[in-house]
Chains A and B, each alone.
Chain A
């Protein structure tokens, strides 16, 4: 059974740029959730995708968007990057529910 894999592991971007983070879900899982974890904080729910449609969203602005593909892999896109977007971005997949299997995350630094 494969786990959840995320790429890249680390990324440095400049304020105002756009970034795409990728996630490969655990085999058989049709639901993917994305979380943002700022330094010293617990993860915060960004949104969830189920069968390729956004299926719930946290308190994040529209410049955070996502996609889920037919093979259930997923992307998180962030436009117009701000310094406060610097964080660990975690992807979690599940077959049903809020997501139990997390990836190791992508560390995004905005300078």
Chain B
């Protein structure tokens, strides 16, 4: 079964500083990886996803993530943090079924515990 570990429960950075949020996954096959952001009381917004190809993935709001198979990691980065980036960030690994004639589409996301980002002015 797949699992995701986000080692940092809470990170504090100053506005304008760089950011890296860590994510390690466990999965027996090629993973499908996601980063979501959640503001208080809100749903999840997709920042970026990795399915295959280039291991450096660009997302919305200036975020990027790098897939490193050898380290089982998919860390999220941003060169300069804005106060509006304060939120909770979730890494997730997805199971995608093969496209088959049966048309089944079972798949689920397994999420990490999340990292709360605080931004100081």
Which A residues lie within 8 Å of B41 (CB)?
107
**Which of A42, A43, A56, A58 has the most CB atoms of chain B within a 10 A radius of its CB?**
A42
A31 within 8 A of B: yes
* Residue from the set A35, A43, A44 with the largest chain B CB neighbour count within 10 Å: A43
**Of A45, A55, A105, which contacts B109 at CB under 8 A?**
A45
Do B46 and A101 have beta carbons less than 8 Å apart? yes
Chain A residues near B108: list those with CB within 8 A: 33, 45, 48, 56, 58, 98-99
Give the Cβ gap from A29 to chain B, nearest Cβ, in Å.
10
Given that A42-B90, A98-B95 are contacting pairs, would A104 and B43 also be in contact in the complex, using a CB cutoff of 8 Å? yes
Total interface residues in chain A, CB < 8 Å:
31
Smallest beta-carbon distance B48→chain A, Å: 11
A residues with CB within 8 A of B = 4, 6, 30-31, 33, 35, 41-45, 48, 50-51, 55-56, 58, 90, 92, 94, 96-105, 107
Residues of chain B touching chain A, judged by Cβ–Cβ distance below 8 Å, are 4, 32, 34, 36, 41-46, 49, 90, 92, 94-97, 99, 103-114
